[in-house]
Structure 1
Amino acid sequence: MKQKPLVIALAVVIGAAAAYTGTSWWAGKQAETTLAKQHQLIADLPYFVVKSRVYERGVFSSTERTTIAVAPNLLAPYQMLKLEEMGGAKLELTYTQTIKHGPLPLLMSGDFSPLKAAVTTDIAFSADTQALLKKVFGDQRPLQIENRIKFNDDGVFAIKVPSFTYEETLAKVKSVWQGLDATISYGGDFNKIDIVAVAPGLHFEAGPKGTLDIKDLRFESHNTRGQAGLMLGEGKLSLASATFKQTEGEQPVDVKLAGLSYQVKTVAEGEFINSSGDVVVSSLALNSKTYGPAKLSVSANHLHGPTLAKLSLAANKIQREVKDPGEQATQMLALFRKDGLPLLKNNPELSLNELSVKLPEGEVKLKANVTLKGFEEKDLDSPLLLLEKLQANADLQVPKQVIETVALWQARGAIAIDTEEGEQPETEELDNLARNLMESQIRKLLEQKLIRADGDLLSSSAVWKNGRLEVNGTHIPLPWQLAIPPAEAALEEEAEEAAVE
């Protein structure tokens, strides 16, 4: 009787071990399928060629070794560069993935998270590269990648580049890198992807030559597969500040950038796609002058979603299979004429919603919009007919002093040359000449009503509609729209009749 509890306990242990072993084997088999799908995503990209892939599956862990290379198509434009002269460099990368199977693959490290698999990636660098990385990172792995796959195939990539301080005393070079942390959360079929990446900063100094500082670089995006299989969502890249100082040389350089951000957003409206992008700069200081704030906002609306998706897949295939850049361009054009016309037939709209730049001389503003309406396939063979299907407008405001500054730059660059006597025109003389030419041009444009003046602010508005151009409300006939004078028309008619006879 006393042995019965021991037997039961032993049976439980054996049963649990057998169950865990079986579950781990099953999880490993499922993980292999999941990783094969993830591998295929890389193989389908037009940027890489998979040279080899070997997967060795075990009961509790597996190993995958893959070698990829940059696609030859991308290297074709740079064939003039002889890689042999650079030490026989190869644009290839080999990585090894160690896959620990579930149900508790991180148990030995004290993590009880239930997972299908936990995957770590090691990249094989060349001996020279490895030696350099060891000098910089020490005993730290320079690139740390972990992929945790849940049982529903959702997962998270954790990517880390550790911080380091590297210094060469004799060369007076110092680098301080504060590291990079990124996470990529994905759905099982990559139908949902969320990315967050943060690099706190970088400081680099090269003795008396100069310094570079970058602070708080961030990227965040949230995308979900939607209309016609296209990824919809938004992303934002931001940089708190960047400074560059060059203290050595004839002319010191001091650049300070603050508050840079880029944001893109893509949404679906029925079967159509609307996409927009905004770039904002709080300030940019170049030596003693400060520029900004500045903003650029653009959008593309009413784009036919199914057509975009079809073109994207076909374009990727051409990029993968066609090596010659010229042939690529030819096939891309043929592809658009064959499958891309619905983009033009569904009234697409491109807009420059805002371009504003505050300069020391004043603020420049520009808005523009162009829409294609009523397009038919035959319009491609008639450029003038295609122009009549376009509707566009633009508004521009420029301070007069900005134009004067540009004119002075051009004058000093184009006119200030040595004479035969070895003399140079006086700067003041050049400036006066440039100002007089500028004032003369402005007066002519005002007389022709091509621009308006409100004090020192010059502006112009243009509208193109139904094949008719108006600038500031005045009709401006284009060359092909000008009527032929009666005398010339009569001569042409006589010539045509003579040719018939």
Structure 2
Amino acid sequence: MKKSVNIALGVVVVAGALITAGAWYTGTRLEGVLGDAVQQGNQQIQAAFVGHEGSASVELLSLDRHFFTSTAHYKFTIQNPRLNDGQPVELLFVDNIEHGPFPWSRVKSLNLVPVMAASNMALEKNVFSEKWFAMTHDKAPLTGHFSMGYDRAALGRIEFLPFQFDDQNGSFKFSGFTLNASGSANGEKLEANGVLGSLDVTATSEEGPVSLSLRDLTFNTGGTKGKSGFYLGHSDAKVTSATFQAAGRPPVQFKDFVNTSLLQEVEGNLNAQVTYDIGDITFDGKDVGSSQMVWKFANFDIASTKALLQIYQEKIQPQAQAAAAEGESYTPHLSPADQALVQAEVGKLLSAKPHIELEKLSLKTANGESHFSLSMDLSNPTSLDQPGAALLKQLVTQLDAKLLLSKPMIQDLASLQALSAGQTDHAAIAEQAKGAAESVGGMAIMLQVGKVEGDNITSTLHYANDVVDFNGVKMSAQQFAAAMMGKVVMFNQAQ
């Protein structure tokens, strides 16, 4: 028995020594690790601000090391012409760091996987954050809990406390937000998910009050950095309901909104798919229906896509933002060298024969569904400086478009419009709605832009090799353009 006790005591002593040695080792490495993390974070912040007004940075102010714990202080600085009269805003954070391999906060929760450190960060009160603290009853409105492994993989959770305020310009009510995130060393792989319970915002305008309300926002995203430098993988976001009301206008509400996206690298090119679903749309409290939009992109050359994106962020986007701030219309201004670069990169992009497709755009009401689709394949023309018909023939190798309008759906929308206008005679409304649907069908036939097939109005277009097939009638692209101009004139005269 005594021998067993001695063995047990020996194990405890050895374990304690190992933990102590690990804590000491962590303490010696911590400053370098934090310095690298701050440097990497600033690089990512700088990349995120490209093309945007202002700047932001993180600074490690101090690190007070002890044997089992350390305390770090950070400063986050953000500067924007529209924030704080253009003067820098500084937020201070304190980070209580527990050394590994077994930080006590993780041991208490029976999480016994060894880590280098566990971080417990909180926003500190200063002149810039004291109003925020007042709205959260003097509790830190922003906290974070993270752990970093010896391989520098990180896992963490950020929480924003609920708060609300009201002033002469409007009100803001926020239920709080939680973000969970993880990443491998050097950010090669990232995962994140977040939850927002509710958000209510009202603001005043010259026309009257404007309001926005969100309920149950969740998102989940994850990706691995590919050879392109883009994060490849999935992303999805869901909102149970979103309500917007402009001044003097009825409220519009979207329910069960879902957005999903996927980005992939395929044979040196980028492929993507983006889907938007709205389960229920209401206008002025009246049901409209549901909607879906699906986009697909394929064969986008990686190098040229990155180059064009960089030009947009560094050259075009700042100009557009400056024009918008002044309330002016925007016209791009690029130097001759930038113009030549754009033309060269566009040529490379088109040489990969990109495919762009609006697979589905639909609106479904109680009695019918309408939908539209469009797809096109592009190629690199011998020159962009050539007549329009010749350029189109070389640039667009194929284009397909299909439109189906449901007459019952048109009737539903016409009835909704009449009800929103205050009409109450349901028989008269039904008769007007039927007339509206028949009028659309008759106009399509008169202008020869569509066919009526039962309860549907259909129109199709196919283009390839300078030949347009419009609802079964073939013509050249120039003839088609002239025909469409004539139909526009006829439509305006009919109105």
TM-score (norm. length: structure 1): 0.71
- Which stretches in structure 2 are left out of the alignment for 5+ residues? 1-11, 204-208, 324-329, 419-427, 483-495
- Note if contact 1:143-1:159 (Cα within 8 Å) is conserved in structure 2: yes
1:41 lines up with 2:48 in the alignment: no
Task: Return the offset for 1:115.
Answer: 3.0
What is the aligned partner in structure 2 of residue 344 from structure 1?
Answer: 350
| Greater alpha carbon shift after TM alignment, 114-123 vs 435-444 | 435-444
Correspondence 1:470-489 to 2 at 5 A: 470-479=469-478
What is the aligned partner in structure 1 of residue 146 from structure 2?
Answer: 147
Task: Return the offset for 1:346.
Answer: 1.1
The AA in structure 2 aligned to 1:232 is L
Residue 134 to residue 42, structure 1, CA distance change in 2 (3 Å): closer
1:388 lines up with 2:393 in the alignment: yes
Q: Distance in 1 between matches of 2:27 and 2:481?
A: 81
What is the aligned partner in structure 2 of residue 65 from structure 1?
Answer: 74
1:263 lines up with 2:260 in the alignment: yes
1:31 lines up with 2:38 in the alignment: no
Identity of aligned pairs, percent? 16
What is the aligned partner in structure 2 of residue 235 from structure 1?
Answer: 235
| Greater alpha carbon shift after TM alignment, 465-474 vs 382-391 | 382-391
What is the aligned partner in structure 2 of residue 418 from structure 1?
Answer: none
Residue 383 to residue 409, structure 1, CA distance change in 2 (3 Å): farther
Q: Distance in 2 between matches of 1:50 and 1:435?
A: 58
1:136 lines up with 2:135 in the alignment: yes
Correspondence 1:247-326 to 2 at 5 A: 253=250, 255-287=252-284, 289-313=286-310, 315-316=312-313, 318=315
2:97 to 100, 104, 113: 100
1:162 lines up with 2:161 in the alignment: yes
> What root-mean-square deviation, in Å, do the aligned CA atoms of Structure 1 and Structure 2 show?
4.9
Q: Distance in 1 between matches of 2:107 and 2:416?
A: 67
Task: Return the offset for 1:474.
Answer: 0.4
Q: Secondary structure at the match of 1:152?
A: coil
- Deviations 1:452-496 (CA, angstroms, capped at 9, x unpaired): 10234211001111112121110244546899xxxxxxxxxxxxx
Task: Return the offset for 1:163.
Answer: 3.9
Task: Return the offset for 1:394.
Answer: 0.6
Q: Distance in 2 between matches of 1:288 and 1:12?
A: 66
What is the aligned partner in structure 2 of residue 365 from structure 1?
Answer: 371
1:330 to 324, 331, 334: 334
Residue 70 to residue 319, structure 1, CA distance change in 2 (3 Å): farther
- Note if contact 2:466-2:477 (Cα within 8 Å) is conserved in structure 1: no
Q: Distance in 1 between matches of 2:341 and 2:312?
A: 8
Q: Distance in 1 between matches of 2:16 and 2:225?
A: 46
- Note if contact 1:28-1:58 (Cα within 8 Å) is conserved in structure 2: no
Task: Return the offset for 1:137.
Answer: 1.5
Q: Distance in 1 between matches of 2:25 and 2:187?
A: 28
- Note if contact 1:31-1:101 (Cα within 8 Å) is conserved in structure 2: no
Residue 377 to residue 53, structure 1, CA distance change in 2 (3 Å): farther
What is the aligned partner in structure 1 of residue 383 from structure 2?
Answer: 378
Residue 410 to residue 197, structure 1, CA distance change in 2 (3 Å): closer
What is the aligned partner in structure 1 of residue 5 from structure 2?
Answer: none
Task: Return the offset for 1:193.
Answer: 0.8
Aligned residue pairs total 439
- Note if contact 1:255-1:284 (Cα within 8 Å) is conserved in structure 2: yes
What is the aligned partner in structure 1 of residue 453 from structure 2?
Answer: 454
Task: Return the offset for 1:20.
Answer: 3.9
Larger Rg: 1
1:463 lines up with 2:470 in the alignment: no
- Note if contact 1:195-1:220 (Cα within 8 Å) is conserved in structure 2: yes
- Note if contact 1:28-1:117 (Cα within 8 Å) is conserved in structure 2: no
- Which stretches in structure 1 are left out of the alignment for 5+ residues? 1-8, 76-82, 412-428, 484-501
Residue 337 to residue 105, structure 1, CA distance change in 2 (3 Å): farther
Task: Return the offset for 1:351.
Answer: 0.5
| Greater alpha carbon shift after TM alignment, 146-155 vs 27-36 | 27-36
Correspondence 1:375-454 to 2 at 5 A: 375-389=380-394, 390=396, 391-400=398-407, 442-443=441-442, 445-446=444-445, 449-454=448-453
Task: Return the offset for 1:293.
Answer: 2.0
Residue 179 to residue 365, structure 1, CA distance change in 2 (3 Å): same
Q: Distance in 2 between matches of 1:228 and 1:250?
A: 48
The AA in structure 1 aligned to 2:334 is T
Q: Secondary structure at the match of 1:330?
A: coil
Task: Return the offset for 1:89.
Answer: 5.8
What is the aligned partner in structure 2 of residue 219 from structure 1?
Answer: 219
Q: Distance in 2 between matches of 1:437 and 1:288?
A: 23
TM-score (norm. length: structure 2): 0.72
- Deviations 1:67-125 (CA, angstroms, capped at 9, x unpaired): 433466xx7xxxxxxx7xxx746463434353636334843785566333444544467
Q: Secondary structure at the match of 1:309?
A: helix
